[in-house]
Amino acid sequence: MTGPDLEQGIEENAVVAGVPLLGHAHGEAVMLVRAEGEVFAVAANCSHYGGPLSQGLVVGGTVRCPWHHACFDLKSGAVRGAPAFNPISCYQVQRTGARLRVGPRLTPEAEAAVGDSSTNIVIVGAGAAGHYAAETLRQSSFRGAIHLLGRDPSVPYDRPNLSKDFLAGNAPEDWIPLRPRVYYEEKAIHLETGAEVSRLELSARQVVMSDGRRVPFDRLLLATGADPVPLAVPGADAPHVHLLRTLEDCRRLIAGLGQAKRVALIGSGFIGLEAAASLRARGLEVAVVSPDAAPLGRVVGPEVSAFLRRLHEQHGVTFHLQESVARIDADAVVTASGRRVPADLVLVAIGVRPATALAAAAGLAIDNGILVDEHLETSVPGVFAAGDVARYPDPRSGKRIRVEHWAVAQKMGAVAASNMLGVPRRFVDVPFFWSVHYDVTLAYVGHSDSVTDLTIDGSLDARDCRVQYQENGRIAAVLTIGRDMQSLEAARALELRV
């Protein structure tokens, strides 16, 4: 606990508009925030991963977390933006003369019920988007039926952790579920795990399960995510060759590490490089094999790419770049140039494809994803799509884009939920993702297809910098290391452009 004891009180003029004042009350870190002409007292830690909200950005009557950009309402504590699920505590602010004191904790007000209780909503896919849509529906006090149907045998889980702490062995398995199973029972969300939807019968308004059952819907959300692209070379189906998308994949991979000493990672994208860091943390030898000239070069540009390569090399990772894989042997990956990269375990991380098969078979418009409008509605009214599978109109660039980010999938789930309830909301959120490599976290806001026009402020090697990517003379995306506030401000500036 740092800062003043706010139960004892402080001078009111110490609370400056838009600048959280950190203190403590009732045994908890609490901050006072002056915003929109009022002073609010709220918990000072984010309900997602405990980020310091006192170092966050105050926008209107909300505060945004510097770590993963979750957003909370200062008056009610309610979540206003993913990736958080739970509200933060709010406290009474008592005024005596020129002093402010933090009083008792306030009881959250229930949200007014929205939507018709006879409506039946079916969500296919219980990942980031599907789960968040279901939560949003219940938080909106929707009283109709919600069927959340997921192929995974597990309850919805924290997928980004699978290449980070969980793979490194630093996160116990009970961190991974987003909610315990009992949560879904309490909220009357009919979660079916291990439940594959095999067909959509859109004119009959029903989905068909692989066991033949039919589940009727009034509104349907397709949140089927994306599937890893397999490598089509001899040996790629051997038991020591792995993909990483699901918790099951990750468990299998970890089990396979038991006897392994040398790992070859095929692909130099975010998941491959994060996995490299996690496997180094387990003491394995790690080699990256990739056809790219520079890891992640097409996403982050040459300077950040070179920095990431140096960072991984300093941690003992070796790179075999501009090398494509010809075959996988039991003890090595063999490249097209004839190089043998010794490996007793191989992880293929060469990208994903949107899981559009169900939607395509049902006749929905598809083009590198399910095409949706700004309300995330597909070409069939009442059928929505969200997350990695959906390709939507980006309000900033005017282009149709599909992004593969956790918090974006969740935010799309929330917007789709609102639209399914008949409360129209456009999806205009600024894309955001983070990526962790050893002790370096990258935060990226916006969307840019081009890395030819960029400016770097600060120093990559000092892990203190901001990289701005321009398209047509305007900032399209901003990457930061060690500058969380600038990341939040960049997201806000992009937001204001709509």
CB of 286 to ligand FAD, least distance (A): 16
Question: How far is the C-alpha of 400 from the C-alpha of 402, rounded, in Å?
Answer: 7
- By CB under 6 A, tell whether 125 contacts ligand FAD: yes
Q: Which is nearer to ligand FAD, 25 or 420 (CB)?
A: 420
- By CB under 6 A, tell whether 129 contacts ligand FAD: yes
465: helix, strand or coil: strand
Among 121, 128, 308, 332, binds ligand FAD (CB under 6 A): 128
250: helix, strand or coil: helix
Q: Which is nearer to ligand FAD, 433 or 469 (CB)?
A: 433
- By CB under 6 A, tell whether 151 contacts ligand FAD: yes
CB of 396 to ligand FAD, least distance (A): 18
Q: Which is nearer to ligand FAD, 435 or 468 (CB)?
A: 435
Among 9, 77, 115, 150, binds ligand FAD (CB under 6 A): 150
CB of 409 to ligand FAD, least distance (A): 3
CA-based nearest residue to 126, from 223, 45, 260, 46: 223
Three-state secondary structure readout of the chain: CCCCECCCCEEHHHCCECCCEEEEECCEEEEEEEECCEEEEEECECCCCCCEHHHCEEECCEEECCCCCCEEECCCCCEEECCCCCCCCEEEEEEECCEEEEEEECCCCCCCCCCCCCCEEEEECCCHHHHHHHHHHHHCCCCCEEEEECCCCCCCECHHHHHCHHHHCCCCHHHCECCCHHHHHHCCEEEECCCCEEEEECCCCEEEECCCCEEECCEEEECCCEEECCCCCCCCCCCCEECCCCHHHHHHHHHHCCCCCEEEEECCCHHHHHHHHHHHHCCCEEEEEECCCCCCHHHHCHHHHHHHHHHHHHCCCEEEECCCEEEECCCEEEECCCCEEECCEEEECCCEEECCHHHHHCCCCECCCEECCCCCECCCCCEEECHHHEEEECCCCCCEECCCCHHHHHHHHHHHHHHHCCCCCCCCCCCEEEEEECCEEEEEEECCCCCCCEEEEEECCCCEEEEEEEECCEEEEEEEECCHHHHHHHHHHHHCCC
Chain center to CA of 185: 25
Q: Which is nearer to ligand FAD, 311 or 358 (CB)?
A: 358
- By CB under 6 A, tell whether 35 contacts ligand FAD: no
Binding mask 341-380 for ligand FAD (x = CB under 6 A): --------------x--x----------------------
Q: Which is nearer to ligand FAD, 9 or 160 (CB)?
A: 160
Among 101, 245, 320, 437, binds ligand FAD (CB under 6 A): 245
CB of 98 to ligand FAD, least distance (A): 45
Binding-site size for ligand FAD (CB under 6 A) equals 36
Per CB under 6 A, the segment of 96-104, 122-130, 258-266, 418-426 that binds ligand FAD is 122-130
- By CB under 6 A, tell whether 149 contacts ligand FAD: yes
Binding mask 183-222 for ligand FAD (x = CB under 6 A): -------------xx-------------------------
CB of 274 to ligand FAD, least distance (A): 6
Q: Which is nearer to ligand FAD, 85 or 406 (CB)?
A: 406
Question: How far is the C-alpha of 147 from the C-alpha of 188, rounded, in Å?
Answer: 9
Q: Which is nearer to ligand FAD, 40 or 184 (CB)?
A: 184
Q: Contact, 105 vs 93, CB < 8 A?
A: no
CB of 47 to ligand FAD, least distance (A): 18
Q: Which is nearer to ligand FAD, 33 or 149 (CB)?
A: 149
For 229, the token pair is 């692209």
Q: Which is nearer to ligand FAD, 199 or 375 (CB)?
A: 199
Per CB under 6 A, the segment of 69-77, 86-94, 374-382, 403-411 that binds ligand FAD is 403-411
Q: Which is nearer to ligand FAD, 223 or 341 (CB)?
A: 223
For 169-201, the DSSP string reads T-S-GGGSBSS-HHHHHHTTEEEESS--EEEEE
Q: Which is nearer to ligand FAD, 271 or 491 (CB)?
A: 271
Binding mask 157-176 for ligand FAD (x = CB under 6 A): --xx-xx-------------
Q: Which positions from 404 through 443 interact with ligand FAD, judged by CB under 6 A? A: 404-407, 409, 433-435
Binding mask 253-282 for ligand FAD (x = CB under 6 A): ------------------x-----------
- By CB under 6 A, tell whether 223 contacts ligand FAD: yes
Residue nearest to ligand FAD according to CB distances in the complex: 127
Residues forming contacts to ligand FAD in the complex (CB under 6 A) are 124-130, 149-152, 159-160, 162-163, 196-197, 223-225, 244-245, 271, 355, 358, 387-389, 404-407, 409, 433-435
